[in-house]
Amino acid sequence: MSLQMMSHAALTARSVAVGSSVAVPVLRGFATAVPVTSPSRNHRVVVIGGGAAGLSISHQLLRSGKFSNDEIAVVDPAAWHHYQPGWTLVGGGLKTREELRMPLKSLIDPKLKFYNDGVASLSPEDNSVSLSSGDKIGYEHLVVVPGININYGSIKGLPEALADPDSMVSSIYGYDTVEKVFGTIKKLQQGDAIFTQPSGAIKCAGAPQKIMWLALDYWKKAGLYDAGNSSRSPINIAYATGLPTMFGVPKYSAKLEELRKERAVEGLFQHDLVAVDGNKATFARAGGPELVTRKFDLLHVVPKMGPHDFVKSSKLANDAGFVDVNDGTTQSTKYQNVWSAGDASSLPTSKTAAAITAQAPVLVGNLLSSLEGKGPKLEYDGYTSCPLTTEYGKVLLAEFKYGGVPKETFGNLLGIDQAIPRRAFYYLKKDFLPWVYKRYMVKGTWAGPKGWIR
Ligand code: UQ1
């Protein structure tokens, strides 16, 4: 570890000494001197991941003007970049999954070196990354933002149920499964609908109930759901969550619990889905050995999620397998030249694209000051946001920071309460955010509620 710190300090010192406008860093010559174990190619910054975080961060770094062509590399095996915040709307029949995807390559500035490849392993002790192709690339600074993995296999019988086109089991969480969701909502005429949320970290913790509220509204408008008379309502709805409450932030949780009761949705708290078998769903109860089995006619599932293997098995990980970083600076707690944000990081906040808008400028500012031999200077306050569809045409706009403390953009600006679902927030979610994301955020020119960059 101390060796790593020394070599990193040495690298930084050299790059500062040669100046930022020099296109060929000293490192490349160094690489050819030790051919057997050395990387085939070196970059000043390697960014692992071409998602919301990877694109924002690599383009913000590039726009600093401190890098020449190919000094920053982006690594991602994907062919497509998805606007995942829109998938709830696909589930609700409001958008198509095709309109929310873009070829990843088309979003990457040609001045960045793009490795369209996976990562086999990370070697922070010698500042290198091994790619799936077998190539090894070196770096001065590493940004680990590959996102989170969806573990469909964590629920027994789920992969088979999702793959069966005739089953009433679906999930908004995957490109391959999101298309099925609205079909099952339209098909259900009567019976029990169950919407699940697992215990443990997932991306967009509000989405499991966003799709439920849309489905409820759809059935209500179709005359199939009557909250005022559960025994006569053709469809009954249950929300089965591994968590003890409707939402992690008390202010919004209170409002959502009120809606749940008002709309006669059964709350199955601390019910963690473990198996799907035919029309039966089995849940584990928190803190007890007992299992609960429920019959369903429609099941919307959110699988468990976790860090990618190459992150979990690396020296960068905490006990849970996420990249262990300082909550404020986003710097690795183990290696000073490693950074992380977003879903793959240990940052104790909700995993959303909105969080990235606040994390990216902090990470970038701190990385740049480290390249100049100074320490991190910016602090992330935990900002994240969850525009929660509560019906067609209305959204509750949760915005908060560390500690579950509300930090409301429009609350502060206009003096309104964002816990009250509003039509303006619905258009913000459906139209404004996808537009600003594609046009500005992934290009590194939008920092969320803080506005445009440069
Ligand atoms: C946001 O910045 C963002 O990133 C693009 C989201 O992801 C889709 C969001 O959902 C939200 C709410 C924000 C925050 C932006 C504003 C204007 C409140």
Give the mutation target among 357, 389, 431 for probing the ligand 1 site: most ligand atoms within 8 A of CB: 357
Taking each helix axis as running N to C, give the angle between helix 2-18 and helix 26-33, from 0 to 180 degrees, rounded to the nearest 10: 130
CA-385 nearest atom, ligand 1: 12
- What whole-number distance in Å separates Cα of residue 128 and Cα of residue 343? 22
Chain length of the chain: 454
> Residues 289-344: pLDDT tens digits?
899 999 999 999 999 999 999 999 999 999 999 999 999 999 999 999 999 999 99
CB 269 within 8 A of CB 241: yes
Question: What pTM did the predictor assign?
Answer: 0.91
Residue 433 CB–ligand 1 contact under 6 Å: yes
> How many Å lie between the centroid of ligand 1 and the Cα of residue 283?
33
Residue 357 CB–ligand 1 contact under 6 Å: yes
> Residues 148-165: pLDDT tens digits?
999 999 999 999 999 999
> Residues 389-438: pLDDT tens digits?
999 999 999 999 999 999 999 988 899 999 999 999 999 999 999 999 99
> How many Å lie between the centroid of ligand 1 and the Cα of residue 439?
14
- What whole-number distance in Å separates Cα of residue 43 and Cα of residue 170? 42
> How many Å lie between the centroid of ligand 1 and the Cα of residue 56?
14
Which residue has the least CA distance to atom 6 on ligand 1?
Answer: 354
Residues recognised as catalytic: 204, 386
pLDDT-derived band of residue 15, with 50, 70 and 90 as boundaries?
very low
Closest CA to 367 of 348, 340, 394: 340
Residue 353 CB–ligand 1 contact under 6 Å: yes
Residue 441 CB–ligand 1 contact under 6 Å: yes
What domains appear along the chain, each with residue ranges and CATH number?
Answer: 8-148+307-382+434-450 (3.50.50.60), 151-304 (3.50.50.60)
CA angle 87, 89, 95 (to 5 degrees): 95
Residue 418 CB–ligand 1 contact under 6 Å: no
Distance of CA 113 to the CA centre of its chain: 24
Residue 274 CB–ligand 1 contact under 6 Å: no
- What whole-number distance in Å separates Cα of residue 26 and Cα of residue 43? 11
> How many Å lie between the centroid of ligand 1 and the Cα of residue 427?
12
